[in-house]
Structure formats: structure tokens, C-alpha cells
Structure 1
């Protein structure tokens, strides 16, 4: 598996500088059922909760981490509900996790998906959000819904391009999962496209690496076993 850090140096440095300050931060995670982390984790922590715990380990106990993930959501859902799920909290950081459900719209849905994603980022910036992080979706099994199997790679590619065009950091889960042996990521999914507890540890690991806080030797959160 790659050890690359997928976020660009400049945005990461700015966020790391902000995290080095004592002033509390508000983190808003917006997205679909993977972000929500219900059902297929069987009560275990999802990746957002693991990020929260890692921040506490780092001494950022006054930070607020908000999980506004909703099952079934597409990028249009983020557009219509952005004030309620993010803007009302005046977040310092917004982490976007969307795309799996948008594959229902096929390849013809790529153009409106990109337009909607761009709109979300622009509105966050207009509201004064300083740090916006994009994510590609996790990998999926062949048993995932047909529309996911057929179109997820195209939507992940669109997110990569958007992150580049909008100059926002990207955590490329799809690339990481694609590079992992099938014998590994087969154990990361509780359903064709829904990560289980182990899968959420993988998602959290890549965010930790991106934020340069991956430290399995000294962190209990980072040291959780990943099959």
C-alpha cells in the first residue's frame, strides 16, 4: 500500500499551523452514509469519531467535531441543506465525503455532480470557511449496487479534478483502496460499498496521514489493528 500523503503541501501546512494554536476549532464532516457510519459498524466508531478521538489525544479537547452525514445523500442534498449541516456552526474545517449515491445518475450525472460540488465549495468559502478537504469515496466490492460498480471510478476521478481546479486538499481513499490487496479490503467492508469498523479505521488512517498526525507507535487511536 502507498505511504503517500495525498493532501497538497500548502493547504496542509496552513491547517497544521492552525492546529498548532490553542484556540479551539470546529470541524464539520458532511456527506452520505459512510460519513454517518451507522448500521454496518455495529456500534463501533466511524472515521469521524476516530478523528475526534485523535484530536483529543493531541490535546485539542476543546475542539468540536460535528458529524452531519446522512444516509442516501447526494451532492444536491449538501447544496440544499448546507446552512443546517455546516454553515450555522461557523466551522473552521469542512470535510466533504460524497459521491457513492451520485453514481445512481450514471455518467450523464457527472456534469451536474461537478457543478454541485463546486457550488458547495464556493459557498463554504463565501461563508469564511478557511479549510475545506475533499475525499474520494472508499473502494467497493463487486457485490455493491451495479451503479456503484460501474460508475464510482468516474465520480472519484471527477472529485480529483475538482480538488485540483478548486485548489483544495484531497484525501484519495479510492486510490488507497485500489492499491490494497483484495484480501485486505475484502475485510474492510460490511456491505458491498459500506465500510465496517475496520474500513472506518482505514479511512481515518488516511486522514491522519494527510494531517500529519499518523503515529501508530504513540497513539492508541492510530494503533488500532487494521486487517
Structure 2
């Protein structure tokens, strides 16, 4: 009986430590303006190593990507990588280009449905935009992320860039987070990824150390 319990525990531990995470994002996750190893996605991979050394982080982020572009690319990515978790960090370029927030919401919903149909868990990183197109458009844009999260029961980080201005700031273009801000992006992402990957964060002192330096 004890041997059976031990084998079951080992199998459960093994499956928990072999998670694969697909990051489907835009320039913010593609480490625009810096070395890939400086971006938050690479930092995330490094964070998983102590307890989930067999885990994979696939960064499928593309600078300039819109929600429509992500939707069109996702089926092939799911087939190629068979991820356990899909992080959707898209929509910012829709807002910067003044595209329809409603169309963006439908694209996000489609990506979430595709993710679940593949057997993976979706996670959504929300975005806000400057008021260039007026307050009505700005509010409508921001509301879509919350609507998607509530209606489809998806873990949501409401504003992925939350705290960036105060901690690290932006590059000279005023749009893309700086190298110094990447640990904060990681912490923001971990607010929704941590609960999904509890074994990968168990006893990970690096989390506390990173928080102390942000």
C-alpha cells in the first residue's frame, strides 16, 4: 500500500514539474529594444528552473502583433507545441491603432476557446491605453478584458504594465518597458501564473528576493 502511494506521488510530482507554457504576446513579451535574455519571459523561464526544471516556456510573441494576428497563429502553435498553459498578452496594438474593441474581445474569446479545446489552460494579461482616441474609446477598450475574464472564467491580470512607471519606467519611445522594469512585468504575470503552477513556486526564495528589489 505504501509503495502504491509513493508511486502515485512520484507520478503526480513528475507531471507537475513538466508543464509547458506558451506565451502569445506582442512586443512587450518579445523583449523589444533589449536582449531576449533580459525580457520578462526569459526571467520567467529562469524562475521555474529550481522546482520545475523540465518545464518549457515557448515565447511565440511578435512585435506589432494584434489580437487578430494572434488568433490566426494560435492553432498552428497549439498543434506544434501542445502547451499546458497559454498566456495571452495581446490587445495593446489593437488599441494603439484604434481598432474595434468589440472585435478585439471576440478575438480574445476565440483564442481562449481554442486554448481550452486543445486541453490547455488560458491566462489573460490585460492592457490599458493612452486616451488618444478619447475617453469613451479608452473605457470601452479596457472593459473588454474584464468582460472576457468574467464571461469565460479566465485568470486575468487587469493591467500588465501596472506599476511600471514607478518601477523601472519605459524606454525612450514611452511605450515599451525598460530593462529595469522587466522584473516587475514578471511579478505581474506571476500574480496569475503562480496559482496555476504552485509546485514550481514552492519554496522559491527568488520570488521574495525579486519582490524586495522592485
- TM-score, scaled relative to structure 2: 0.77
Q: Give, in whole Å, the separation in 2 of the partners of 1:99 and 1:216.
A: 34
Range moving further from structure 2, 193-202 or 161-170 = 193-202
The answer to which structure, 1 or 2, has the higher relative contact order (CA under 8 A, 6+ apart) is: 1
Corresponding residue to 1:99 among 91, 100, 105: 91
Alignment partner, residue 39 of structure 2: 46
In structure 2, list runs of 5 or more residues that go unmatched: 1-11
Q: Give, in whole Å, the separation in 1 of the partners of 2:135 and 2:178.
A: 18
Asked if 1:195 corresponds to 2:177, the answer is yes
Q: Give, in whole Å, the separation in 2 of the partners of 1:46 and 1:52.
A: 10
1:215 deviates by 9.3
Alignment partner, residue 136 of structure 1: 126
Following TM superposition, where does structure 1 have runs of at least 4 consecutive aligned residues deviating by more than 6 angstroms? 213-217
* Contact residue 205 and residue 222 of structure 1 kept, 8 A: no
1:172 deviates by 2.3
Q: How has the CA–CA distance of structure 1 residues 216 and 61 changed in structure 2, closer, same or farther, with 3 Å as cutoff?
A: closer
1:157 deviates by 2.3
Q: Deviations over 1:127-149 (max 9, x none)?
A: 221x1100113x67x7xx94699
1:154 deviates by 3.7
* Contact residue 198 and residue 226 of structure 1 kept, 8 A: no
Q: Give, in whole Å, the separation in 2 of the partners of 1:148 and 1:226.
A: 36
Alignment of 1:36-75 (within 5 A): 36-39=30-33, 41-42=34-35, 45-57=38-50, 59-75=51-67
1:44 deviates by 5.0
SS of corresponding position for 1:95: strand
Corresponding residue to 2:189 among 203, 207, 217: 207
SS of corresponding position for 1:192: coil
Q: How has the CA–CA distance of structure 1 residues 121 and 209 changed in structure 2, closer, same or farther, with 3 Å as cutoff?
A: closer
1:192 deviates by 1.6
Q: Give, in whole Å, the separation in 1 of the partners of 2:119 and 2:133.
A: 36
Q: Give, in whole Å, the separation in 2 of the partners of 1:217 and 1:64.
A: 18
Report which of the two structures shows the higher radius of gyration computed on alpha carbons.
2
1:125 deviates by 1.2
Asked if 1:119 corresponds to 2:110, the answer is yes
Give the alignment's Cα RMSD to 1 decimal: 3.2
Q: Give, in whole Å, the separation in 1 of the partners of 2:72 and 2:24.
A: 12
Tell me the matched-pair count.
195
SS of corresponding position for 1:70: coil
Corresponding residue to 2:144 among 158, 163, 166: 158
Q: Give, in whole Å, the separation in 2 of the partners of 1:222 and 1:153.
A: 36
In structure 1, list runs of 5 or more residues that go unmatched: 1-19
